[in-house]
Structure 1
Amino acid sequence: MRHADDPRDDAVRALAHQPSEVAYDHLWAADLRSSIHCSAVLLSLLLVIDWVAGSCTLWRGALWAALAVVFFLVLFPPRVAAGEGWLASRGLLRERRIHTGHLVSVRCLDGVGQRLVLRDTFGGRLEIDPRVLIANPPLWHRLNEDAHVSANRGSLTCGTITLLRLSQRIDRETARTVFKVSGLE
């Protein structure tokens, strides 16, 4: 028989109220460094070319710096995170978040840069690069589990084939990585 002030009850309550684990894009910092480096190289090259040509002035230097800042803003990678029931992508100015347990559609847009477009029942819309999911298995795992919840609820009406293709692609990439690391490739 337990007493009302049993310390085990506190431990159980503490475990029950812990938030689920959040998965992050672990390559985001490297992508951010790359965008900074590319912008710095562009600025350096423009200033060196201008200096060698003998036309470097303060105004032209400011123009090249502004161009490098715009280039950085274009290259700035969104930070993707996922938890139980949600997926978020945070850019420089705002965060977009969808409820992955209430997905309505998942589409893959092909083009120069492939994008995965997710929509939820609350009107939320999120675009992410599928390579982020491929490079981060915990993010894919969270999205895949919640997509199954959506499918079981009947809210996911469009996109099960897209998710299946993405799952197969992730499995291929994972197998290729395992073979490469083990020296079997």
Structure 2
Amino acid sequence: MKRRADECGGPLDAPPDDGAEEAANDVEWRRELWAAARCAGILLALLLLVDWGSGRVTPWRSALWLTLTGLLFVLLYPARVSAGRNWLASRQLVRERRVRTDLLVSVRCLDGISPRLLLRDALGGRVEIEPEVLVRNPQLWSLLDAGARKAAAGGSLLCGTTALRRIALRVDRETAHAVFKASGLE
């Protein structure tokens, strides 16, 4: 990771020192990882079963099916989203991307088959996450929202307050729904 130093010699793009008690992770990530592994494993089992049933099992075909299911696993591998005071990170299979939430310059909603939220900071950091991760993890949302409010107050957040407001409404709606469901008032 390339780091830039300020006048005191400290790295600017490293997350600020925040206690471990303030960090939050996506609570559903492990379940999504196992779902990706199950999908790949079931496909491998089905492909080998069809080959075995037709009498075409060979080592090279088995290697082909293993490669194909490995590729499927890589495609389905979920990003692990975590956040702390003034930072948000998304760890892919090979790479981690971070943004400083207190230095955000833009937040954009990318619509498509899978909606995405694109966050950019003043240091050039860029993270793309699913808004659903924030909706189902209120702690992640709270940390992102606190940093975004600092960025807006500091004048660095130039565009994206509407996207953040929409996510805030969804988080509030889902939280209220969960409270009503838990209390039996649904």
TM-score w.r.t. the length of structure 1 is 0.88
CA gap of 1:85–1:31, structure 2 versus 1, over 3 A, is same
Matches within 5 A, 1:87-102: 87-102=88-103
Cα-to-partner distance string for 1:42-72 (whole Å, 9 max, x where unaligned): 1001111111122111111110000010000
Corresponding residue number in structure 2 for 1:60: 61
Corresponding residue number in structure 2 for 1:142: 143
8 Å CA contact retained: 1:134, 1:170: yes
Q: Which has the higher helix share?
A: 1
Matched residue type, 2:156: S
Q: Secondary structure at the match of 2:27?
A: coil
> Could you tell me how far apart the structure 2 residues matched to 1:17 and 1:146 are?
13
Matches within 5 A, 1:33-48: 33-48=34-49
Structure 1: give runs of 5+ residues left out of the alignment. Answer: 1-15
Q: Secondary structure at the match of 2:157?
A: coil
Q: Percent identity?
A: 52
CA gap of 1:41–1:158, structure 2 versus 1, over 3 A, is same
> Could you tell me how far apart the structure 2 residues matched to 1:155 and 1:30 are?
36
Cα-to-partner distance string for 1:121-151 (whole Å, 9 max, x where unaligned): 1111110011111111110000000000000
Corresponding residue number in structure 2 for 1:75: 76
> Could you tell me how far apart the structure 1 residues matched to 2:173 and 2:113 are?
22
CA gap of 1:76–1:17, structure 2 versus 1, over 3 A, is closer
Q: Secondary structure at the match of 2:22?
A: coil
Corresponding residue number in structure 1 for 2:23: 22
> Could you tell me how far apart the structure 2 residues matched to 1:27 and 1:17 are?
23
> Could you tell me how far apart the structure 1 residues matched to 2:18 and 2:87 are?
18
CA gap of 1:69–1:83, structure 2 versus 1, over 3 A, is same
CA gap of 1:163–1:73, structure 2 versus 1, over 3 A, is same
Corresponding residue number in structure 2 for 1:8: none
CA gap of 1:146–1:181, structure 2 versus 1, over 3 A, is same
Structure 2: give runs of 5+ residues left out of the alignment. Answer: 1-16
Structure 1 residue 19: Cα displacement: 5.5
